[in-house]
Amino acid sequence: STLPVNVTVTGAAGQIGYALLFRIASGQMLGPDVPVRLKMLEIPQGVKAAEGTAMELEDCAFPLLAGIDIYDDPKVAFDGVNVGLLVGARPRGAGMERGDLLAANGGIFGPQGAAINAGAADDVRILVVGNPANTNALIASAHAPDVPADRFNAMMRLDHNRALAQVAAKTSTPVGDITKVTIWGNHSAKQHPDLTQAVIAGRPATEVIGDDAWIKDDFVPTVAKRGAAIIDARGASSAASAANAAIAHVHDWVNGTPEGDWTSVAMPSDGSYGVPAGLVSSFPAVSKGGAWEIVQGLELDDYTRAGIDTSVAELVEERDAVQELGLLSAANA
Ligand code: NAI
């Protein structure tokens, strides 16, 4: 029988954790034949709630669930990790400056990166969900010098799916007929949702939509601000849709993207599309043989170029701020 895959989930007692763990254990992330061992990481105050979630996981009697462990120490939680979902993060508190937020998260993602460096399996794949996700991924990767940087992703799949949903609703098309949507840049309100390459049932999406003003004035801000709209409506942030996106991201990373389509993935730039090398920025990407490849050679019109540049400028600012705080040097783990 196959050895279980070690899946570490941080923030396991949180909202996203609650929506995520059951789907991992049911086989929706890695496939119906792959047993998983869940390694749940929480802060000490979250351990009791994580134990409650673990009891419910047991009560599902998932045939693929080979074990559950709960930790409050990242060193143990990441020992042997094959897939790591870094969900737990420090939210922005009242009156907190951006520098404070970045520093607080550096105090989480630096040590987690170091623990990954020390204990991860050779095939480790890390998806950072906790915000600010792109810069948290950069910090974790900086503390894991022995792990190839391309094993650290930040999640853009929720933004990508939100874009698909908006286009489907606007054009009365099933989501399955829409391909080649891209989210560029940072997972923030300054992301750049892009339909210039998108295809709806074989026709250019821009032609089917036929309404450039809708794309610029409605679609782009609706996708970029959807997280705030959910909080406003639900009184809590997106959790099930975020978990769903994490499941899909890892599924495609491991198993490949469908032929003829791509998805949006924040990963270390190799300089493609003028994005400074090393920044964890979102690109259109296909997964082949278990690794992402950035889709090359796309023609960018002026609007798209400007949108990417604005988002990347924000990532550069975040990187410079954490660099200044010493959060990118492994010695400060
Ligand atoms: P939550 O507050 O319900 O749960 C977070 C959990 O993380 C808590 O149980 C907390 O105890 C735990 N935690 C905090 N520090 C930790 C540490 N150092 N180690 C382990 N666990 C730790 O929050 P929720 O709703 O689950 O969201 C989690 C994160 O995901 C937030 O940062 C949120 O902004 C982000 N998010 C990202 C999305 C994306 O598309 N990239 C979408 C939605 C949310």
SS3 of 157, please? helix
Cα–ligand 1 centroid distance for 219 (angstroms): 27
Q: According to the model, what pLDDT value does residue 333 have?
A: 47
* Cα gap 132→321, rounded to integer Å: 13
Residue nearest to ligand 1 atom 38, measured at CA? 129
* Cα gap 178→201, rounded to integer Å: 6
Q: According to the model, what pLDDT value does residue 106 have?
A: 94
Q: Which residues are catalytic?
A: 187
* Cα gap 40→234, rounded to integer Å: 26
The predicted-structure confidence for 247-277, as pLDDT tens digits, reads as follows 999 999 999 999 999 999 999 999 999 999 9
SS3 of 5, please? strand
The answer to whether the CB of 133 is under 6 A from ligand 1 is yes
Q: According to the model, what pLDDT value does residue 274 have?
A: 98
Q: Which residues contact 213 (CB under 8 A, 6 or more apart)?
A: none
The answer to whether the CB of 127 is under 6 A from ligand 1 is no
Q: Which residues contribute to the annotated binding site for NAD(+)?
A: 11-17, 105, 112, 129-131
Name residue 291's beta-bridge partners: 288
The answer to whether the CB of 38 is under 6 A from ligand 1 is no
- Enumerate the domain spans of the chain: 5-154, 157-318
CA angle 315, 320, 322 (to 5 degrees): 95
Q: Which ipTM did the prediction report?
A: 0.98
The two tokens of residue 330 are 């492994």
* Cα gap 202→145, rounded to integer Å: 44
Q: Pick the closest to residue 296 from 274, 319, 326, 321 (CA basis).
A: 274
* Cα gap 52→69, rounded to integer Å: 12
Q: Which residues contribute to the annotated binding site?
A: 11-17, 92, 98, 105, 112, 129-131, 162
Which ligand 1 atom is at minimum distance from the Cα of 18?
A: 26
Q: According to the model, what pLDDT value does residue 331 have?
A: 62
Which ligand 1 atom is at minimum distance from the Cα of 13?
A: 9
* Cα gap 130→10, rounded to integer Å: 9
Q: Exposure pattern of 145-159 as b/e (b: 16+ CB <10 Å)?
A: eebebebbbbbbbbb
**For 5-154, CATH number?**
3.40.50.720
* Within this chain, domains 5-154 and 157-318 share the same CATH topology: no
Per-residue pLDDT of the chain (333 residues; tens, 9 = 90+): 689 999 999 999 999 999 999 999 999 999 999 999 999 999 999 999 999 999 999 999 999 999 999 999 999 999 999 999 999 999 888 888 888 899 999 999 999 999 999 999 999 999 999 999 999 999 999 999 999 999 999 999 999 999 999 999 999 999 999 999 999 999 999 999 999 999 999 999 999 999 999 999 999 999 999 999 999 999 999 999 999 999 999 999 999 999 999 999 999 999 999 999 999 999 999 999 999 999 999 999 999 999 999 999 999 999 999 999 999 987 644
Q: According to the model, what pLDDT value does residue 1 have?
A: 60
Which class is domain 157-318?
alpha beta
The predicted-structure confidence for 174-204, as pLDDT tens digits, reads as follows 999 999 999 999 999 999 999 999 999 999 9
Under 8 Å between Cβ of 60 and 18: no
Query: Distances from the Cα of 140 to the Cαs of 81, 179, 322, in angstroms?
Result: 15, 32, 12
Residue 174 CB neighbours (<10 A):
10
